[in-house]
Structure 1
Amino acid sequence: MPDTVNFGDQLVSPEEKTRKVGEVFSSVARRYDVMNDLMSGGMHRLWKDRFVSRVKPQPHEHILDMAGGTGDIAFRMARRGAAVTVSDINADMLGVGEERAAKKGIEGLNWSVQNAEELSFADRSFDAYTIAFGIRNVTDIPKALRDAHRVLKFGGRLFVLEFSTSDWPGFGELYEQWADKAIPRIGKAVASDEASYRYLVESIRRFPKPYDFERMIGEAGFTRTRTETLMGGLVCIWSGWKA
């Protein structure tokens, strides 16, 4: 790791970035799902549905949903019968997820505070590892990908859902304007937190381009890597297998 890393447009130490990201998500936890609807026009629900359809969770499987936060992905996989461990570095986000699970009557989920870079799980513990809209907030992404590879069984699969860069002519520029001008204002109005949403916008901008990130997945040891682009690459689903 370098001595300094980006936190939005600031250069901070890796330790400080981890702390600051934690503060961001503690701040937005209670309004996180409402903000997702407002920022995406509800599209995030369709993206998550497609993501889980690609994972194909099975009743006999043990799946780790990293950065699982408020439970959106875990709920979908649990309804298909998979045994899901929901992990997040932020206890406040997990707390919201547990409350939502209780209200929805979804039982059997395991909830665990975990750092994606240093998972406490044993080698070869899971059939699948999912992370949705969380990898860009990890301080050391290559290290997190290597640890994902470690905790997967042989034949296990990795699935990542994340924002990236759209190559649709004109659309990418329009989205940049929307993100810069509208999202922080919505965050201020709905979540009383403009600064956190400015960081989240900047974190999307700094995330690798789709095929650069696919290469990072391969460098972490995964085979049969694949990139599926949505909306010209604004959102992508990446996958890889542990041979």
Structure 2
Amino acid sequence: MNEPVNSPSTVSFGYEDIDAREKTARVGEVFSAVARKYDVMNDAMSGGMHRLWKDRFVRRVKPRSGEQILDMAGGTGDIAFRMEARGAQITVSDINQEMLDVGLERAVKRGIDTLVWSRQNAEELTFADKSFDAYTIAFGIRNVTHIDKALAEAYRVLRRGGRFYCLEFSTTEWPGFKEVYDTYSHKLVPRIGQAIAGDADSYRYLIESIRRFPTMPEFEKMIREAGFTQTKVEPIMGGLVAIHSGWKV
């Protein structure tokens, strides 16, 4: 496995380049601001399609009874609830306590008491080496400060034969649709955020963070460089969203 390269002193925060030491706190402020309306906004922004993407993602993960799975950046529980229903033992981790609080409340309402909830930084996990059979992260990795460190940590905590799955926005390659989506996301999503969550700026950042995220081939290369093999990219809607996967052998 390759170690993460020396991290840059500046990183992207939406379209800004900021001191790397500031990003974790600033991203934290974004998710603290949107936590209570996060799932409502996901429905509004995607027309409910995020639910289908997450269903498809979990089908690819194939959680099985008795498996130990770490769901990173999974605060509100969307992925964890789906995997728990298949019998896996899920640890839900997120750097943001407000997001975890929302997930805990949702779990109580659903009568689900088998999940483990743990506040964690994806770049510095406190779990022991080789603790999990699978590592999942959905719509979260683009928000970490140093993606290479998060990938290295995912590799470290997985057992041999463990699998890595990431659901993340990318750049659609469908002709015509890309331009329509760019207009929608940049002009309308912040307005929707203001109307529903009273917060245009946070949703402006979330859209800009998608644009600054590596392309599908670039991100797959990063996953390989972290040590994973048999990497695969499954584009959805031409790459608007993609499922990335790899194995630790």
Q: TM-score, normalised by structure 1?
A: 0.99
Q: Which runs of 5+ in 2 are unaligned?
A: 1-6
**What displacement does 1:158 show?**
0.1
How high is the TM-score relative to the length of structure 2? 0.97
Q: Encode CA deviations 1:179-214: one digit per residue, 9 max, x unaligned.
A: 001100000010011000000000000111111111
Specify the code of the residue in structure 2 equivalent to 1:80. Answer: R
User: How far is the alpha carbon of 1:63 from its aligned partner?
Assistant: 0.1
What displacement does 1:170 show? 0.5
> Take 2:231 and 2:17, find their aligned partners in 1: how far apart are those partners?
31
Runs (5+) with no aligned partner, structure 1: none
1:120 aligns with 2:126: yes
Residue identity opposite 2:35 in structure 1: A
Candidates 97, 107, 112, aligned match of 1:106:
112
Partner residue in 2 for 1:205: 211
Question: Alignment RMSD, CA only?
Answer: 0.5
Distance 1:52 1:143 in 2: 24
1:2 and 2:21 correspond? no
1:32 is matched with which residue? 38
| Code of the aligned partner of 1:71 | G
Decide whether the 8 Å contact of 2:131 with 2:158 is kept in 1.
yes
CA offsets 1:157-191 (integer angstroms, 9 cap, x no match): 00000000000001011100000011000000100
Is 1:162 the counterpart of 2:190? The answer is no
Q: Give the Cα separation in 1 of the matches to 2:216 and 2:18.
A: 25
Aligned to 2:72: 66
Please identify runs of 4+ aligned residues in structure 1 that moved more than 2 A: none
CA contact (8 A) 2:134 2:163 kept: yes
Q: Give the secondary-structure state (helix, strand or coil) at the position aligned to 1:84.
A: strand
Paired letter, 1:132: A
CA deviation vs aligned residue, 1:122-162 (integer Å, no higher than 9, x gap): 00000000000000001100110010000000000000000
Match of 2:183 among 161, 177, 185: 177
Q: Distance in 2 between matches of 1:123 and 1:6?
A: 30
SS in 1 for 2:245: strand
